[in-house]
């Protein structure tokens, strides 16, 4: 290696890049895989990924993806997502959760991660407060990427490791974002109706207290595992429980988990149209779109 190259490797980079840490769950997953390689019998539940040999994507989705490539749908997709997919996501949510969101209130991206990044980036200024439960997935990293002030709320085993209004209440004053997820990663536990209702009431109370020119407290509601509930558990969400939450709620979802399609890269947000527009603008500069053939295929797979 040349001297200049060796020196360049020591040049300072941004504070943010220098201090990025890798995903804890991937580290854990690698450790488990190493033990499996060494002959131990371990069921690896660390990473929300699936062995495609056991859990392939649905045949109908695969057929549509192949057809879309064969039909040359390979140029840029629309920045906010293909209209047929936004319409299909809108109908899917109506069918599954009875949530009424129009196509203009849906934004498509290359999975849920860019959606979450865009939510953080749209709402937060440097140093803004983000309240999130512990344990939860990756909020610490998104706070770091955006220079936000992450406020971690410890959850208890008595409440299934889900946050309660009482846990959150002391931190909502001045906070810009409350990051919630149900079913929760890594615990797999869910909000009860009462738990989430009380949290919504706490958010609504805080937003009523704020002046017109103050940024409201937004809720990011990640329901990417929502379609995978079984038994007596029933998925609950803020806007269904408290319609007044609509202006303050942004949903995160995608096909990664519910259709075992982590490598296919189709995710979406649902929320107020003006926020979807801002998020679209950010994602366009990054180019974090979902591939056009996958979008068209997912739309056909979802149907009307
Ligand atoms: C709660 C949660 N949200 C979002 C994601 C990311 O989903 P995607 O693969 O669609 O980016 C994951 C998993 O990786 C997750 O566990």
Question: pLDDT tens for residues 28-60?
Answer: 888 998 999 999 998 877 777 888 999 999 999
Question: pLDDT tens for residues 23-35?
Answer: 888 888 889 989 9
**Residue 249 bridge partners (DSSP):** 219
Average pLDDT over residues 105-125: 98
Q: Identify whether residues 22 and 160 lie together within a single domain.
A: no
Q: Identify whether residues 161 and 271 lie together within a single domain.
A: yes
What angle separates helix 273-286 from helix 112-123, to the nearest 10 degrees? 110
Q: Identify whether residues 29 and 147 lie together within a single domain.
A: no
Q: What is the pLDDT of residue 10?
A: 78
Question: pLDDT tens for residues 133-177?
Answer: 999 999 999 999 999 999 999 999 999 999 999 999 999 999 999
CA triplet 158, 159, 161: central angle to 5 degrees? Answer: 105
- Domain span at residue 20? 16-47
Does residue 90's CB lie within 6 angstroms of at least one atom of ligand 1? no
Hey, which of 191, 256, 289, 290 would you mutate to test ligand 1's pocket, going by the most ligand atoms within 8 Å of its Cβ?
A: 256
CA proximity to 123, closest of 205, 203, 204, 220 = 220
* Residue 275 clears pLDDT 80, i.e. is over it: yes
Q: What is the pLDDT of residue 1?
A: 60
Does residue 181's CB lie within 6 angstroms of at least one atom of ligand 1? yes
CA proximity to 23, closest of 195, 145, 106 = 145
Question: pLDDT tens for residues 65-78?
Answer: 999 999 999 999 99
DSSP-based three-state secondary structure for 84: helix
57 contacts 66 by C-beta, under 8 angstroms = no
Q: What is the pLDDT of residue 25?
A: 80
Q: Identify whether residues 139 and 203 lie together within a single domain.
A: yes
Q: Identify whether residues 163 and 220 lie together within a single domain.
A: yes
Q: Identify whether residues 81 and 32 lie together within a single domain.
A: no
Q: What is the pLDDT of residue 51?
A: 86
Average pLDDT over residues 265-270: 98
Q: What is the pLDDT of residue 98?
A: 97
Hey, which of 29, 138, 142 would you mutate to test ligand 1's pocket, going by the most ligand atoms within 8 Å of its Cβ?
A: 138
Ligand 1 center to 140 CA (angstroms): 14
Does residue 112's CB lie within 6 angstroms of at least one atom of ligand 1? yes
Measure the CA–CA gap between 54 and 45, rounded to whole angstroms.
15
Hey, which of 24, 29, 50, 113 would you mutate to test ligand 1's pocket, going by the most ligand atoms within 8 Å of its Cβ?
A: 113
Ligand 1 center to 111 CA (angstroms): 8
Mean confidence (pLDDT) of the chain = 95
pLDDT-above-90 percentage for the chain:
85
In a domain, 8, yes or no: no
**Residue 150 bridge partners (DSSP):** 130
pLDDT band, very low/low/confident/very high, at 304 (cuts 50, 70, 90): low
Does residue 179's CB lie within 6 angstroms of at least one atom of ligand 1? no
The Cβ-side half-sphere exposure at 86, using a 13 Å CA radius, reads 21
Q: Identify whether residues 164 and 76 lie together within a single domain.
A: yes
* Residue 298 clears pLDDT 80, i.e. is over it: yes
Measure the CA–CA gap between 304 and 77, rounded to whole angstroms.
20
Give whole-number Cα distances, 222 to 126, 200, 219, 234, 256, in Å.
23, 15, 9, 15, 13
Question: pLDDT tens for residues 189-205?
Answer: 999 999 999 999 999 99
Domains in the chain, number: 2
**Residue 175 bridge partners (DSSP):** 129
Q: What is the pLDDT of residue 26?
A: 82
What angle separates helix 112-123 from helix 139-146, to the nearest 10 degrees? 50
CA proximity to 291, closest of 265, 270, 267, 260 = 265
Token match 């407290």: residue?
Answer: 217
């Amino acid at each position: 290696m040349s001297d200049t190259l060796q020196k360049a490797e020591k040049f300072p980079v941004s504070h943010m890049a220098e201090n990025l840490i890798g995903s804890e769950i991937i580290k854990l997953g690698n450790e488990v895989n190493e033990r499996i390689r060494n002959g131990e019998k371990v069921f690896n539940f660390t990473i929300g990924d699936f062995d495609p040999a056991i859990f392939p994507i649905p045949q109908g989705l695969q057929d549509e993806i192949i057809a879309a490539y064969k039909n040359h749908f390979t140029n840029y997709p629309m920045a906010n997502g293909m209209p047929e997919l936004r319409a299909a996501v809108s109908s899917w949510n109506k069918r599954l959760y009875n949530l009424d969101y129009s196509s203009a209130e849906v934004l498509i991206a290359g999975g849920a991660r860019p959606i979450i990044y865009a939510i953080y980036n749209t709402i937060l200024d440097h140093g803004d407060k983000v309240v999130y439960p512990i344990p939860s997935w990756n909020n610490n990293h998104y706070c770091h990427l955006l220079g936000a002030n992450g406020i971690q709320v410890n959850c208890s085993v008595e409440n299934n490791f889900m946050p309660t209004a009482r846990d959150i209440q002391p931190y909502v004053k001045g906070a810009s974002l409350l990051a919630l997820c149900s079913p929760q990663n890594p615990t797999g536990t869910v909000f009860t109706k009462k738990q989430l209702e009380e949290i919504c009431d706490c958010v609504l109370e805080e937003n009523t207290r704020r002046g017109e020119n103050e940024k409201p407290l937004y809720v990011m509601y990640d329901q990417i595992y929502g379609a995978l509930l079984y038994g007596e558990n029933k998925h609950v969400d803020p806007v269904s429980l408290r319609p007044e939450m609509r202006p303050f709620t942004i949903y995160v979802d995608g096909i990664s988990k519910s259709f075992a399609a982590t490598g296919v890269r189709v995710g979406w947000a649902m929320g107020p149209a003006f926020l979807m527009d801002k998020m679209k603008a950010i994602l366009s500069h990054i180019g974090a779109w979902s591939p056009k053939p996958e979008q068209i295929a997912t739309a056909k797979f979802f149907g009307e």
